[in-house]
Amino acid sequence: MFWLITFPLSLPGVAAGILLCFIPIVGEFVIPDLLAGSNSLMIGQTLWLEFFTNKDWPVASAAAIVLLVLLVVPLVLYDRLQRAQLEEAR
């Protein structure tokens, strides 16, 4: 019963929760540096290092665009799914 009723009804909430957690995690570059030191490398820290330490603007820009696409595509897909569900409900 869980897989037939509860799980399908909870999928929009799970997707929203994933997006709400993933977006701030991607942009973090100060907090991981303060908490874990420079031993753990995260995406935000990588961009920061490429832009300001290595001065490698082409690589940093390409990484930022890839990151932006990785953030925008799931948001657009989620929006389209929500709109389709609202249209079906009418």
The percentage of residues in the chain with a pLDDT greater than 70, rounded to a whole number, is 83
CA distance 60 to 33: 18
pLDDT in tens, 16-42: 888 888 777 776 666 666 776 666 677
CA distance 27 to 47: 9
33 vs 67, higher pLDDT:
67
CA gyration radius, the chain: 18
71 vs 6, higher pLDDT:
6
Mean pLDDT taken over the chain = 82
CB 15 within 8 A of CB 78: yes
CA distance 42 to 48: 10
CB 33 within 8 A of CB 53: no
83 vs 43, higher pLDDT:
83
